């Protein structure tokens, strides 16, 4: 290796989700040099999943032909409640983790500085740095999936509390008498507009004989009614499924209208499987519902974009977070 090559800096970004772990190696310009994806396998237990995270990171380094001692830092995006001061995952239902000192574990494994970030914050930062929000002053990210996560980046910095992440957009109450949410309250945004809520309602439509295309494709089990199946049903004429999507977008749009009045973002980035599977319908429907809720003084000050980085947003954002940490 030449002296010039040895001075290059490399960063590892890791995104940990309920179903997959993605690790990506980047250079200082966010060029992807190598990656590795594997199933999370939550059923194996906490320690086994942590070990899979470490192995996935090392496999990504091997794919990039980079040694761990060439790394400048590791960033990781994790779901759940985090202690951002100690880099600990306090609790995350999706992974069944509790009090996991993931920052210390990664620092020991790779021997470099580590930044721990909420996964949706990381996804929003990724889109801000190198995706749909590139060049903006501020970006509001909302990611409808099984739940609904949010993040806000202002002049390159993630908005969060003293010790923990914030922007729990999915737990803004929109229907006080609405369905029970996973957080224990009624009528939260994700309880009426998350994919789980949509899939459950779509399954009922199948059982009523109102969604023949969806019935033929996947049947009536909500577990099988995922974003791609919903998009295909809409495309092939299941009108009741389209109405479910539009209704969910209306709820999201109303919440976003309030957030525009509060935060005045330049760009709203909508990510997640639902929006990426139906970008035109999602963008149009959310915009239509949001526009009347924005105060006159802020009308025309922001635009809605669909996320560009898809599965790589959180990994890139995690890498960016440790880059920024090193520059402070």
Domains 3-127+312-327 and 135-308 share a fold: yes
Rounded CA-CA distance 241/195 in Å is 12
Tens-place pLDDT, residues 7-58:
568 999 999 998 899 999 999 999 999 999 999 999 999 999 999 999 999 9
**Among the listed residues 60, 150, 145, 50, the one whose alpha carbon sits nearest the alpha carbon of residue 103:** 50
Q: What are phi and psi of 324, to 5 degrees?
A: -65, -35
- Asked if 305 contacts 268 with a C-beta cutoff of 8 angstroms, the reply is yes
3-127+312-327 domain in CATH 3.30.420.40? yes
Average pLDDT over the chain, rounded to whole? 93
What ranges do the domains of the chain cover?
3-127+312-327, 135-308
Q: Is the pLDDT of residue 94 over 90?
A: no
DSSP state of 179: P
Alpha-carbon dihedral of residues 239, 244, 245, 246, nearest 10 degrees?
90
Looking only at the bridges linking them, the beta strands covering 81-83 and 114-118 are unpaired
Tens-place pLDDT, residues 271-325:
998 999 999 999 999 999 999 999 999 999 999 999 999 889 999 999 999 987 7
- Retrieve residue 254's tokens: 């109303």
For domain 135-308, give the fold: Nucleotidyltransferase; domain 5 (3.30.420)
pLDDT of residue 326: 52
Residues 6 or more apart in contact with residue 67 via CB below 8 angstroms = 61
Rounded CA-CA distance 271/13 in Å is 19
Rounded CA-CA distance 144/169 in Å is 10
- Asked if 37 contacts 20 with a C-beta cutoff of 8 angstroms, the reply is yes
């Amino acid at each position: 290796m030449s002296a010039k090559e040895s001075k290059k800096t490399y960063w590892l970004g890791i995104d940990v989700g309920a179903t997959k772990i993605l690790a990506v190696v980047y250079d200082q310009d966010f060029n992807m040099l190598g990656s590795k994806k594997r199933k999370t396998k939550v059923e194996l237990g906490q320690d086994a999943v942590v070990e899979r995270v470490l192995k996935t990171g090392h496999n990504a380094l091997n794919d990039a032909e980079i040694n761990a001692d060439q790394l400048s830092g590791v960033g990781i995006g994790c779901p759940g409640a985090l202690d951002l001061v100690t880099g600990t995952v306090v609790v995350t239902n999706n992974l069944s983790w509790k009090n996991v000192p993931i920052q210390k574990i990664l620092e020991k494994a790779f021997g470099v500085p580590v930044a721990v970030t909420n996964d949706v914050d990381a996804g929003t930062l990724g889109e801000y740095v190198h995706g749909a929000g590139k060049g903006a002053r501020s970006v509001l990210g909302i990611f409808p999936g099984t739940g609904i996560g949010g993040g806000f980046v202002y002049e390159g910095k993630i908005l969060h509390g003293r010790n923990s992440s914030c922007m729990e957009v999915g737990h803004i109450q929109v229907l006080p008498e609405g369905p029970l949410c996973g957080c224990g309250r009624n009528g939260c945004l994700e309880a009426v507009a998350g994919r789980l809520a949509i899939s459950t309602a779509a399954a009922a439509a199948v059982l009523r004989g109102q969604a023949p295309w969806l019935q033929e494709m996947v049947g009536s089990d909500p577990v099988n009614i995922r974003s791609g199946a919903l998009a295909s049903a809409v495309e092939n004429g299941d009108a009741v499924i389209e109405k479910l999507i539009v209704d969910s977008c209306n709820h999201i749009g109303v919440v976003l209208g309030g957030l525009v009045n509060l935060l005045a973002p330049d760009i709203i980035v909508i990510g997640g499987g639902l929006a990426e599977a139906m970008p035109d319908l999602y963008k149009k429907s959310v915009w239509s519902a949001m526009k009347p809720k924005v105060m006159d003084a802020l009308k025309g000050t922001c635009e809605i974009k669909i996320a560009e980085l898809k599965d790589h947003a959180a990994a890139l954002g995690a890498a960016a977070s440790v880059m920024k940490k090193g520059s402070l």
